[in-house]
Amino acid sequence: MRMFLAVLVCRFIHFMGGLFGRGSSLPGLVALKIYPSVLAHVKFPPAVVAVTGSNGKTSTVEMTAHVLKSVGKKVIYNREGSNQIAGAASLILSSCTLTGKVKGDVVLLETDERYAKHIFKYFSPTHYVITNLLRDQLTRNGHPEWVYDSILPSIPRGTTLVLNADDPLVSCFADAADKTVWFGMDRQPFSTEEHIGVYDDGKYCPKCKAPMEYEYYHFNHIGSYRCTGCGHKKAATDFTVTAADLEKAEIVINGEYNIKLAFSGIYNIYNILACFAVCSLIGVSGGDVAQNIGSYVLTNGRIQRYRLGVNEGMFLISKHENSVSYDSSLKYIAQSGADCAVIVIVDSVSRRYETGETSWLWDIDFELLNCDSVKRIYLSGKHAEELAVRLSFTDIPADRITVIPDIEKMTEAAGAEKYGMLYTVTCFSDKDKFLSKTEPLENVCGGVDR
Ligand SMILES: [Zn+2]
């Protein structure tokens, strides 16, 4: 009876919310008040996939949903912003019959790394993907090792963990799992023998704290490692990127599946690989996955083309308080090699909470913009001066940097001078403040990991 009521109320509020355009977690919140353990009594389909980690969750979930839908499966999945327990309850209950049976073939959940343990108290995913652990929103989450401790109790018995073998911290989760499937990338032309970046979170073993040795790095602490103390090392992988060509924007998985990248970036390759692994594990053939990932274009506006004054530009979403996300955008700009100007905006640090904490700017590798193709860098937003101080610690010539805190005035200046391309790097929280001053152009790019 309580199930009936919880589902009914959830559906009703969901429906009303749809009419008024309200947030997606309220129906779940109310249903949980009526029946706190309601999720423990839901009848789930045979495949329940959860995806967590610092970066790439949303892209992996959206790509996986696309592939599963393309092969005819009915997928219940959440979108960004509803990855805590009330959001999961809203999603699941509004997709249930009144007796509590999920009407779908696969439940696919993006889960917040700190809330997964609350969600999985009531039900277990059959497959649990952990993408990576990187510095992300330190004011909210703390250091990646703290996030590790937070995810660890969320791993239920019987779940198959799908882990990134190239991340030494993520790999430790295998110790807590009944079964682990590994994904990773072999050495590629872009892999490096030396660590590149402002900080190195892979310097010491997460298990015993002895120094680590790397055969190669793909980015930050992601690569092929071995601990000099306890022997903790990159596991043999079940799903492997055997070849990757960033210039041609192509990868090969397990030596046989060629996939064309809609957006060329190392980070995106991992999302595709995680998607490939999980779809394969729930019974989709490799050929079908490859074909349908190839046709996928991320549609959530993480990359957007625009016109501003005399320039055409490309907007690259980058998460504030997440240096790897920024580094990926800056690398993309540097690698493109064509003449350009770059706008960096830090106005509101977070959408979720009030903070003026900007120490994360020091983790970003702004030196990447010290190349001849970058003709000018505009710094804007409330924290423009802090950005300027940060960039003064790079070798970028000071006369290439223009500081205009007011976003409107900055766009007038950047739109008036002709550059080959005008890149904008900022977060969701500041996106519309900039894009509202531009004219949108048709998107030609696909997914990028963040
Ligand atoms: Zn060790």
Place of tokens 């064509």: 338
The pLDDT of residue 4 is 87
Considering the domain boundaries, does residue 449 fall inside one?
A: no
| Last residue of one domain, picked from the residues 266, 294, 322 | 294
Whether residues 312 and 214 share a domain: the answer is no
Residue 20's pLDDT band, with cuts at 50, 70 and 90, is low
* Dist. CA 227 → ligand 1 center (Å): 5
DSSP string, 232-286: -BPPPPSEEEEEEETTTTEEEETTTEEEE-SS--HHHHHHHHHHHHHHHHTT--H
The pLDDT of residue 416 is 96
Whether residues 80 and 192 share a domain: the answer is yes
The pLDDT of residue 126 is 97
Per DSSP bridges, beta strands 127-130 and 160-164 are: parallel
> Residue 21: is its pLDDT beyond 60?
no
Whether residues 287 and 315 share a domain: the answer is no
Whether residues 278 and 313 share a domain: the answer is no
* Dist. CA 251 → ligand 1 center (Å): 32
| Last residue of one domain, picked from the residues 294, 314, 340 | 294
* Dist. CA 211 → ligand 1 center (Å): 8
Residue 26's pLDDT band, with cuts at 50, 70 and 90, is confident
The pLDDT of residue 447 is 38
Give the list of residues 6+ apart from residue 362 with CB closer than 8 angstroms, or none: 198, 390
Q: Rounded distance, CA 104 to CA 109, Å? A: 13
Whether residues 147 and 213 share a domain: the answer is yes
Considering the domain boundaries, does residue 446 fall inside one?
A: no
* Dist. CA 43 → ligand 1 center (Å): 42
Place of tokens 């329940």: 48
* Dist. CA 167 → ligand 1 center (Å): 14
* Dist. CA 416 → ligand 1 center (Å): 55
- The encoded tokens of residue 317 equal 């979403």
* Dist. CA 113 → ligand 1 center (Å): 24
What percent of the chain lies above the pLDDT cut of 90?
68
Q: Rounded distance, CA 449 to CA 329, Å? A: 10
Q: Rounded distance, CA 131 to CA 138, Å? A: 18
Q: What is the mean pLDDT of residues 281-299?
A: 87
Q: Rounded distance, CA 354 to CA 234, Å? A: 39
* Dist. CA 330 → ligand 1 center (Å): 32
Structural domain count, the chain: 2
The pLDDT of residue 297 is 66
Residue 449's pLDDT band, with cuts at 50, 70 and 90, is very low
* Dist. CA 229 → ligand 1 center (Å): 5
Considering the domain boundaries, does residue 447 fall inside one?
A: no
Region for residue 316 given its phi and psi (left: phi exceeds 0; alpha: psi -120 to 50; beta: otherwise) = beta
Whether residues 199 and 323 share a domain: the answer is no
Whether residues 218 and 273 share a domain: the answer is yes
Residue 355's pLDDT band, with cuts at 50, 70 and 90, is confident
Q: Rounded distance, CA 105 to CA 49, Å? A: 11
Whether residues 230 and 360 share a domain: the answer is no
* Dist. CA 206 → ligand 1 center (Å): 7
Considering the domain boundaries, does residue 448 fall inside one?
A: no
Considering the domain boundaries, does residue 120 fall inside one?
A: yes
* CB neighbours of residue 96 within 10 Å: 24
| Helix, strand, coil abundance in the chain, percent, nearest 5 | 35, 25, 40
Q: What is the mean pLDDT of residues 1-12?
A: 85
Do residues 209 and 169 lie in contact, with contact meaning Cβ atoms separated by under 8 Å? no
What's the domain range around 54? Answer: 2-294
Q: What is the pLDDT of residues 257-276, one digit of tens each?
A: 999 887 777 888 999 999 99
How far does Cα 248 stand from its chain's mean position? 23
> Residue 357 is part of a domain; what is its CATH number?
3.90.190.20
Q: What is the pLDDT of residues 155-202, one digit of tens each?
A: 999 999 999 999 999 999 999 999 999 999 999 999 999 998 899 999
Give the list of residues 6+ apart from residue 382 with CB closer than 8 angstroms, or none: 346, 347, 348, 405
- When computed from its CA atoms, the radius of gyration of the chain, rounded to whole angstroms, is 22
Q: What is the pLDDT of residues 212-239, one digit of tens each?
A: 999 999 999 999 999 999 999 999 999 9
Give the list of residues 6+ apart from residue 8 with CB closer than 8 angstroms, or none: 98
Residue 25's pLDDT band, with cuts at 50, 70 and 90, is confident
Q: What is the mean pLDDT of residues 279-304?
A: 84
Of 410 and 247, the structure prediction assigns the larger pLDDT to: 410
* CB neighbours of residue 288 within 10 Å: 16
Whether residues 195 and 259 share a domain: the answer is yes
Q: What is the pLDDT of residues 357-378, one digit of tens each?
A: 899 999 999 999 999 999 999 9
The pLDDT of residue 71 is 96
* Dist. CA 207 → ligand 1 center (Å): 5
| Last residue of one domain, picked from the residues 243, 265, 294 | 294
- Reduced to 3 states (helix: H, G, I; strand: E, B; else coil), residue 379 is strand
* Dist. CA 198 → ligand 1 center (Å): 23
The pLDDT of residue 330 is 94
Considering the domain boundaries, does residue 246 fall inside one?
A: yes
* Dist. CA 8 → ligand 1 center (Å): 52
Considering the domain boundaries, does residue 345 fall inside one?
A: yes
Whether residues 316 and 352 share a domain: the answer is yes
Considering the domain boundaries, does residue 450 fall inside one?
A: no
Cβ-defined contacts of 269-272 (< 8 Å, 24+): 269/185, 269/241, 269/244, 270/56, 270/131, 270/132, 270/164, 270/183, 270/185, 270/222, 270/449, 271/56, 271/59, 271/60, 271/63, 271/131, 271/447, 271/449, 272/63
Of 162 and 26, the structure prediction assigns the larger pLDDT to: 162
Whether residues 27 and 136 share a domain: the answer is yes
Whether residues 137 and 109 share a domain: the answer is yes
Q: Rounded distance, CA 260 to CA 246, Å? A: 10
- The encoded tokens of residue 44 equal 């789930």
> Residue 28 is part of a domain; what is its CATH number?
3.40.1190.10
